[in-house]
Structure 1
Amino acid sequence: MNRKSFVLTIFTILCVGSFSGYAESSVDRDFFQTEINWYELTVTAKINEPLPKIVFDEDDPDFGKPGTATNKGRSDLLARKKAKEKLRMRLSQRIESLFLNSDYTLFEYSGSNPSVRTRINSFISEEKETYDFQPKKNILESKASLHLATKQGLLAYLPMEYGTEEIPVFNESVLPVAFSGLVVDARHLDLRQSLFPKIQSDRGLDIYSPVYVKESYAIETGYVIYRTDNNERYLEKRVGKNPFFVLALGLAGKNQTDLILPSDEVAKLLSHPDSRKNLTRCKVMILVSK
């Protein structure tokens, strides 16, 4: 792709996002409609649990049978208990199906690393879910959510190698510009979202990886977030007022979770120490298709 075509493509894609007026987090749903919000970094499961039949008359043939209750309070309590069990199972299944990076899902990674399995089990057993129950006629609408980021989130339980290397600096002579963050447009690619995607140049050099970022930022805010739009309000919250926009050239890695950027654009991004510092603070957003 020549430079003129590259710039024109960036302009076209960004303008479409800007004028669409459609601000939406990237949400990924599985077969059970358990969803991951990749902007808020939450996992949410929903189910409708039948409310046990209320039988308060001792002469009723159903009195005392399994699946019944003698009053509304007991009926709600029994339904909540069953709903919690189902919700926790679905959250656990969804978490383990997450792509950790381009090599593993969390289930695969924990299977090869006993300490990771122990940490994930610990996270799940500590019951960090928040619940919402709404009785509706004969069912209990139930929802449970878990955080991936924050000190109480899943990322705090995953042993990763953070901040062991310095972000590389290119030798190309470019005018240094301080950027407040990085926005990679991958809406034209079939990118698979993961907790720890790598970003590299078209020369094969990693320029964003867990080894470059500060652990506290990765845990508190998430290593990276995804959106389907470039609404200015959401951009500024994550990547500041002057982020560097770049169109991804392609995908990399076994799971197709990593991104490739043009080397000349990477040189611009990494030209200023403040830009590199903001990368270590995880000020990175990836735009994906709906």
Structure 2
Amino acid sequence: MKRIYLLLVLFFSVSLGSKPIQDKDIYSSVVNWTDLLVSSSVKETIPKIVFDEEDPEFSGKNTATSQGKAHSLARKNAKEKLKVRLSQRLESIFFNADYTVYEYTQVNPQVRLRLNSYIGSEKEEYDFQFVKNVLEAKASLPLKGKEGILSHIPVEYGTESVPEFSEELVPVEFSGLVVDARHLKLKKALYPKIQTDRGLDIYSPLYVKEAYAIETGYIVYKEDQLGKGVEAKVGKNPYFVLALGTAGKNQTDLVIPTDEAAKFLSHPESRKNLTRCRVLILVSQ
């Protein structure tokens, strides 16, 4: 009995301590799909301090006349690099099954204007650490929330009703939906869709309320269904379903069995919870 207890403690410790699902690019800029955050980091050499006017390097490139000015210049250079990297990383994210964020801005000029305005509004949070002659700098942008990226990308929300099935089922209320896609080569996106094996969409931006999509994130990806934030996203009694496969040009959408979708959507409160973005996708690291 004691051994079983220890194994359970170990299991839950591993689950609770599981790392967030992240994607990195060649510059190590990161999209954290669990906490819904985009971040990047750089190392900037602190300018050499030259205060003697007779020194040939005085007022030269990458020099400063005091430590304060040297640190200020390093922070400025790091900020410029981080802004570029964050912008590049953001634009490379899959928007949905058809576009990356950059591609979406090309077909929708309004999105381009809103995104440029957001990037220029300095919403980044910075962390600066001076280590010897190097500045280690990190910047991050939230995806969700009032100050997040999702609130600044125009999306058509909530124009259709969640599908209802005519099958005779005993309605069961579920607090959310958890789709297990850990066995699939799924690509992550800001707005993936979930559909049945008969081609019917059961989850898309057209079904959800804008306030929930912005505040909690339209979708969250995790490695397992335990740990911090899961209950807040999908409630205490979510419905679990194993995905059959991926769909869409970018392979970001998921396909689930029609009979499983019918069970979940049999209760009006379950359908309402879809409109509240109570959806979690399990993926492998």
Shorter-chain TM-score range = over 0.9
Conserved? CA contact 1:53–1:69, under 8 Å: yes
Q: Using structure 2 for the length normalisation, give the TM-score.
A: 0.93
1:243: how far off?
A: 0.5
Matched, 1:71 2:66: yes
Gaps of 5+ in 2: 1-10
Q: Which residue of 1 aligns with 2:191?
A: 196
The farther-off stretch of 226-235 and 104-113 is: 226-235
1:102: how far off?
A: 0.1
Q: Which residue of 1 aligns with 2:226?
A: 231
Matched, 1:187 2:155: no
1:57: how far off?
A: 2.3
Matched, 1:127 2:122: yes
User: What does residue range 82-101 of structure 1 map to in structure 2 within 5 Å?
Assistant: 82-101=77-96
**Aligned partners of 1:134, 1:281: CA distance in 2, in Å?**
40
1:221: how far off?
A: 1.1
**Aligned partners of 1:205, 1:266: CA distance in 2, in Å?**
10
Across the two proteins, how many residue pairs are aligned to each other? 274
Q: Which residue of 2 aligns with 1:13?
A: none
**Aligned partners of 1:169, 1:160: CA distance in 2, in Å?**
24
User: What does residue range 1-290 of structure 1 map to in structure 2 within 5 Å?
Assistant: 20-21=14-15, 22-290=17-285
Q: 1:44 to 1:183 in 2, by over 3 A?
A: same
**Aligned partners of 2:213, 2:166: CA distance in 1, in Å?**
28
The secondary structure found in structure 1 opposite 2:229 is: helix
The secondary structure found in structure 1 opposite 2:272 is: helix
1:61: how far off?
A: 2.4
Per-residue Cα deviation, 1:45-102 (whole angstroms, up to 9, x for no partner): 1000010011122332222211111111000000000000000000000111111100
Conserved? CA contact 1:132–1:142, under 8 Å: yes
Question: Could you tell me which amino acid in structure 2 is paired with residue 114 of structure 1?
Answer: P
**Aligned partners of 2:35, 2:228: CA distance in 1, in Å?**
14
Per-residue Cα deviation, 1:251-287 (whole angstroms, up to 9, x for no partner): 0000000000011110111011111111100011101
**Aligned partners of 1:287, 1:233: CA distance in 2, in Å?**
14
Question: Could you tell me which amino acid in structure 1 is paired with residue 144 of structure 2?
Answer: A
Conserved? CA contact 1:18–1:229, under 8 Å: no
**Aligned partners of 1:237, 1:210: CA distance in 2, in Å?**
20
1:230: how far off?
A: 1.8
Per-residue Cα deviation, 1:212-266 (whole angstroms, up to 9, x for no partner): 0001111111100101122144321211110111110000000000000011110
**Aligned partners of 2:223, 2:83: CA distance in 1, in Å?**
28
Question: Could you tell me which amino acid in structure 2 is paired with residue 38 of structure 1?
Answer: W
**Aligned partners of 1:18, 1:274: CA distance in 2, in Å?**
30
Q: Using structure 1 for the length normalisation, give the TM-score.
A: 0.92
**Aligned partners of 1:152, 1:28: CA distance in 2, in Å?**
22
Gaps of 5+ in 1: 1-16
Question: Could you tell me which amino acid in structure 1 is paired with residue 43 of structure 2?
Answer: N
Identity over aligned residues, as a percent?
A: 59
**Aligned partners of 1:156, 1:81: CA distance in 2, in Å?**
27
Question: Could you tell me which amino acid in structure 1 is paired with residue 128 of structure 2?
Answer: F
Root-mean-square deviation (CA), in Å? Answer: 1.3
**Aligned partners of 2:224, 2:12: CA distance in 1, in Å?**
7
